[in-house]
């Protein structure tokens, strides 16, 4: 089955990537399965059963992604990043910030993946989790409005190729190269987009691709 973990691992192997960063790790369901020479885990509250300990190849940072980028800038400047999985706070603003910070250190040929880019209901796409929980149809799967970060990058960054694989809640792919197509939204228009706008034009806004789409 194609999911975030198989996509990330295939890319690490395809690109012979060495440095992997995961923002938002929780129980380690994905992180612990990933194999890479150097792995970094960032989460303000790890929930890994049995606990965690850093060693030569794996480092755990129990802080927010914003604090990680401030406090670890030396190591990030030295090693760069090859593959980054952005899956922390599921809001438009924070997921976009995580991508923009990661881009600062992305090595040549590097790739950023974003989870939860294709929400399946208005409740799952609500930007505030506590309010989403009160909405009809909420089933504990919270994707927030990460999808708007995709629209932002596709509208305002002509130096990035951005699309979303249609599997596992939507796996966004961001690479430093010419986009095949762009959107035409201003920052203000993106801020005002609603879930209804996504539903009306989902495939186009997200540049949706089949799960087995070949990533160059
Ligand atoms: C959906 S879970 C991550 C799941 C994991 N990536 C996986 O695929 O199994 C989201 C995690 O993001 C963490 N988180 C929330 N705010 C964050 C922030 N500002 N920076 C980093 N992580 C954050 C939460 O503590 C939570 O554990």
**How many Å lie between the centroid of ligand 1 and the Cα of residue 28?**
10
Question: What number does the ligand 1 atom closest to the CA of 42 have?
Answer: 21
Percent of the chain residues past pLDDT 70, beyond the cut: 100
| Band of pLDDT at residue 21, cut at 50, 70 and 90 | very high
Concatenate the DSSP letters of all residues of 41-92 into one string: EE-SS---TT-----SSEEEE-S-HHHHHHHTHHHHHHH-EEEEEE-SS-SH
Question: Residue 57: what pLDDT?
Answer: 98
Average pLDDT, the chain: 98
Structure tokens given for 89: 């706070």
- Mutation choice for ligand 1 from 7, 25, 66, 140, CB with most ligand atoms inside 8 A: 25
Please report which helix (H) or strand (E) contains residue 9, including its range: helix 4-14
| Band of pLDDT at residue 81, cut at 50, 70 and 90 | very high
Separation CA 187–CA 189 (nearest Å): 6
Question: Residue 163: what pLDDT?
Answer: 98
Percent of the chain residues past pLDDT 90, beyond the cut: 100
For the segment 161-193, what is each residue's pLDDT rounded down to a tens digit? 999 999 999 999 999 999 999 999 999 999 999
Question: Residue 28: what pLDDT?
Answer: 98
Which domains, from first to last, does the chain contain? 4-205 (3.40.50.150)
Q: Please state whether 109 falls in left (phi above 0), alpha (psi between -120 and 50) or beta.
A: left
Question: Residue 129: what pLDDT?
Answer: 96
Question: What number does the ligand 1 atom closest to the CA of 85 have?
Answer: 6
Q: Is-above-0.85 flag for pTM?
A: yes
**How many Å lie between the centroid of ligand 1 and the Cα of residue 204?**
28
For the segment 85-126, what is each residue's pLDDT rounded down to a tens digit? 999 999 999 999 999 999 999 999 999 999 999 999 999 999
| Band of pLDDT at residue 10, cut at 50, 70 and 90 | very high
Q: Are 118 and 147 in contact (CB under 8 A)?
A: yes
């Amino acid at each position: 089955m194609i999911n975030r973990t198989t996509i990330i691992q295939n890319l690490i192997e395809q690109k012979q990537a060495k440095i992997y960063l995961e923002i938002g790790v929780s129980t380690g369901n994905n992180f612990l399965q990933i194999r890479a020479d150097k792995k970094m885990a960032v989460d303000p509250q790890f929930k890994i059963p049995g606990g965690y300990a850093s060693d030569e190849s794996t480092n755990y940072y129990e802080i927010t992604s914003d604090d990680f980028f401030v406090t670890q800038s030396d190591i990030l400047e030295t090693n760069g990043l090859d593959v980054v999985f952005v899956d922390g706070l599921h809001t438009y603003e924070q997921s976009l910030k995580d991508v923009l910070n990661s881009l600062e250190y992305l090595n040549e040929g590097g790739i950023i993946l974003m989870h939860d880019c294709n929400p399946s209901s208005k409740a799952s796409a609500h930007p505030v989790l506590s309010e989403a929980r009160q909405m009809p149809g909420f089933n504990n799967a919270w994707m927030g409005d990460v999808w708007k970060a995709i629209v932002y990058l596709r509208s305002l960054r002509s130096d990035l190729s951005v699309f979303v694989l249609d599997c596992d809640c939507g796996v966004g792919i961001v690479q430093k190269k010419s986009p095949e197509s762009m959107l035409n939204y201003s920052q203000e228009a993106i801020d005002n987009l609603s879930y209804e706008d996504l539903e009306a034009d989902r495939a186009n806004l997200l540049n949706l691709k089949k799960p087995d789409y070949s990533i160059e």
